[in-house]
């Protein structure tokens, strides 16, 4: 039953590749990396506990993701899920296991710890 529920929750559609917040919270392991791809100013206003900030729009974004450990799992989020979707695709193109977990407020509503 739980396996079937997780399959339904993680299923993606043609319009969305977002891993539902509830699934992220269930799946996340201590060694996984959570990346906030918003600007440093947005990050300073509030972010997921333990997240690192790699601004998708920064000129060094591609250099930063080139240094990521290929043996880790990456969960990316932003304000709405748009930038994190773009960033997750870029990481996957580099062969990394990366998931778009959507927007910060939706994650907060699902019970994720936010640092403000």
SS3 letters for 31-69? CCEEEECCCHHHHHHCEECCCEECCCCCCCHHHHHHCCC
Phi and psi, residue 45, nearest 5° = -75, -15
Mean pLDDT (whole number) for 27-38: 97
| Average pLDDT rounded to a whole number, residues 35-64 | 98
Mean pLDDT of 75-90: 98
**Active-site residue set:** 78
CA–chain centroid gap for 17, Å, is 11
User: Which pLDDT value is given to residue 24?
Assistant: 98
Q: pTM to 2 decimals?
A: 0.86
12 pLDDT band, cuts 50/70/90, is very low
Convert the pLDDT of each residue in 88-106 to its tens digit: 999 999 999 999 999 999 9
Q: What is the pLDDT of residue 17?
A: 83
pLDDT value of position 10 = 46
Q: Which CATH entry fits the domain spanning 2-115: 3.40.50.2300, 3.90.79.10, 3.40.250.10, 3.30.565.10?
A: 3.40.250.10
Q: Specify whether the CB–CB gap between 47 and 39 falls below 8 A.
A: no
Name the more confident of 13 and 59: 59
Name the pLDDT band for 16 (thresholds 50, 70, 90): low
């Amino acid at each position: 039953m739980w396996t079937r529920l997780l399959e339904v929750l993680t299923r993606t559609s043609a319009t969305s590749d977002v891993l539902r917040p509830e699934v992220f919270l269930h799946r996340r392991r201590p060694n996984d990396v959570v990346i906030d791809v918003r600007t440093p100013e947005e990050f300073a206003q509030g972010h997921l506990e333990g997240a690192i900030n790699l601004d998708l729009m920064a000129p060094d974004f591609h250099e930063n993701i080139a240094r990521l450990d290929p043996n880790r799992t990456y969960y990316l989020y932003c304000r709405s899920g748009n930038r994190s979707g773009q960033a997750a695709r870029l990481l996957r193109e580099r062969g990394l296991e990366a998931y778009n977990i959507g927007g910060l407020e939706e994650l907060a509503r699902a019970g994720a710890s936010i640092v403000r």
